[in-house]
Amino acid sequence: MNPGHLYLCFIGTLIGTLIGVLPGIGPLATLSLLLPITLTLDPVGSIAMLAAIFYGAMYGGAITSILINIPGEAASVVTTLDGHAMARQGRAGAALGMAAFSSFIGGTFALLLLTFFSPWLAAVAIRFGPPEYAGLMMLGLVCTLLMIQGSPLRGLAMMALGFLLASIGIDIVNGTERFTFGSINLTAGIDLLAVVIGLFGVSEILLNVEENLRSKAVTGRIRNLMPTRADWRAALPAHLRGSSLGFVLGIIPGGGPITASFMAYAAEKRFAGRSHEFGSGRIEGVAGPESSNNSAVVSGMIPLLSLGIPGNAVTALLLGALIIQGVQPGPMLITQQPDIFWGVVASLFVGNVFLLILNIPMLGLWVQLLRVPYAVLFPLILLLALVGTFAANKNLFDLWVMLGFGVGGYVLRKLQYEMTPLVLAFVLAPLFEQSVRQALVMSPHGALIFLQRPVSFVLIALSLALAVAMAFRRRPVAAKESPGPI
């Protein structure tokens, strides 16, 4: 109930909805641009604001999906199918109201499960040492490859690049310089903020300017925001199915809100009956996906906070924000820093309430913001990126790093390389290296310690099994497609 934390939850929800409404920005670019601001905040306040931006964007994306058939966020793609059909039938208010309530229900459902899972996670935490941490990091790096949508080889190449970039600077054990080439600016390594702002913020600006995004004008007043009793009767089973699916898929690396929304829509077509009517204005087609994506956002905090493994690119940025604050997520966070863990959980409860009470009365404002052209937005976003990067360390070299990664990220994304493996490897590689070297120092038998400890053995075996499964995975569709750029 700290007033400052409540304010940050409110601001995060407001910004999240805003960037969800405006197509072409997205939560990933926004979080990377706002990371420098978190340097002035305490850990609970910074993560509370960033997480509120994440799930606020889920609802903001639903507004554009319903009103103008343009998903403001990737997780809202399937909401366009029935949400926009309801808008064309004159029921835009009911669709928007149900989207808001569904987001609240899905997020609250996942938070209750997260609260009850936490004591069990705390009991497991005391069993972890450097070998177990090394196994966890290895599993996280392997799971990174599960997230990518394209070629695993490209993902492996980006992960290797992340390892290389993370090794630049002073060795953490013997103090020698690595890959600095005599440059004083590289002795401290490459700044995480400059990397993520360049890869996600600047490259996103370049891509959107190239595509010349334009917002379509929206006319007409939105009425009858409260769904009817018939809508609620049809939507309640969809809420239960969507929230459950979202919770499970949010925990799994590579799942997340995008996968959850698609799976929830498929489940509704399977279980709701009259599947041929979906796409023509069924309320379940809005309730299921919208509850699932917010549920997945919340449950994604479980592997992040309890294991230190981010499940997607956004939670990787949250991991980076915690590390910048001097907080190491992992099994010991719950027992050693319970104020941070439970503060973040409580902020998610508060943020979900803000999401509900904020968006219903401000719906008219969000509709008007859809008129703002991207040509007005992108100079402001670029200015924010420059100021935020410089303000973090007061170092001009970081600006060149940010711009370099922005141009490099733009080129790589044009060549269909994904940025997520690079960022996750860049964040996890130092933790992995530190855990491995600590485990080797404490072991009289060298690397055998990883096989002698049951938990680390299971984690490493699982990592190897996943790697082998991906290596031998058959992809018959890809063989028929024309080869793209390598």
Please give the chain's pLDDT, 486 residues, in tens: 788 888 888 888 888 888 777 655 667 777 777 777 777 888 888 888 888 887 777 777 777 777 766 665 666 767 877 887 888 787 777 888 888 888 888 888 988 888 887 777 666 656 677 888 788 778 877 876 765 666 778 888 888 998 899 888 888 777 788 888 888 888 888 887 788 778 877 887 788 777 655 444 344 556 666 778 888 888 888 899 989 888 887 776 555 777 788 778 878 877 776 666 777 778 888 888 888 888 888 888 877 887 777 766 777 778 878 877 788 787 778 778 888 888 888 888 888 888 877 777 776 676 666 666 667 767 877 777 787 777 667 788 888 988 999 899 899 988 888 887 887 788 778 878 888 888 888 888 888 888 888 888 888 898 888 888 877 764 544 444 444 443
What is d(CA 239, CA 244) in angstroms, rounded to the nearest whole number?
8
Question: What's the pLDDT score for residue 121?
Answer: 65
Question: What's the pLDDT score for residue 421?
Answer: 81
Question: What's the pLDDT score for residue 171?
Answer: 82
The total number of structural domains that make up the chain = 1
Residue 37: inside a domain, yes or no? Answer: yes
Q: Cβ distance 59 to 360 under 8 Å?
A: no
Residue 227: inside a domain, yes or no? Answer: yes
* 285: containing domain: 3-213+220-473
What is d(CA 323, CA 311) in angstroms, rounded to the nearest whole number?
16
What is d(CA 380, CA 369) in angstroms, rounded to the nearest whole number?
15
Question: What's the pLDDT score for residue 481?
Answer: 40
HSE, side-chain direction, 13 A CA sphere, residue 9 = 23
Question: What's the pLDDT score for residue 374?
Answer: 64
Length of the chain: 486
- What are the C-alpha distances in Å from 342 to residues 46, 169, 255, 334, 338? 14, 35, 24, 8, 6
Question: What's the pLDDT score for residue 216?
Answer: 45
Residue 416: inside a domain, yes or no? Answer: yes
Residue 208: inside a domain, yes or no? Answer: yes
DSSP, collapsed to helix, strand or coil, labels residue 169 as strand
The set of residues, in sequence order, having a beta carbon less than 8 Å from that of 30 and lying 6+ positions away, is 15, 16, 19, 53, 57
Question: What's the pLDDT score for residue 358?
Answer: 76
What is d(CA 130, CA 114) in angstroms, rounded to the nearest whole number?
26
Residue 479: inside a domain, yes or no? Answer: no
Q: Cβ distance 274 to 87 under 8 Å?
A: no
DSSP, collapsed to helix, strand or coil, labels residue 428 as helix
pTM of the predicted structure, to 2 decimals: 0.66
Residue 483: inside a domain, yes or no? Answer: no
Beta bridge partners of 178: 169
- What are the C-alpha distances in Å from 208 to residues 40, 78, 99, 198, 406? 30, 22, 27, 14, 13
Structure tokens given for 61: 């994306």
Residue 480: inside a domain, yes or no? Answer: no
DSSP, collapsed to helix, strand or coil, labels residue 177 as strand
List alpha helices for 284-419, DSSP H.
284-299, 301-302, 313-324, 333-336, 338-359, 363-369, 374-393, 396-414
What is d(CA 417, CA 400) in angstroms, rounded to the nearest whole number?
22
> CA angle, 250 as apex, 308 and 345 as ends, to 5°?
65
Structure tokens given for 100: 């808001």
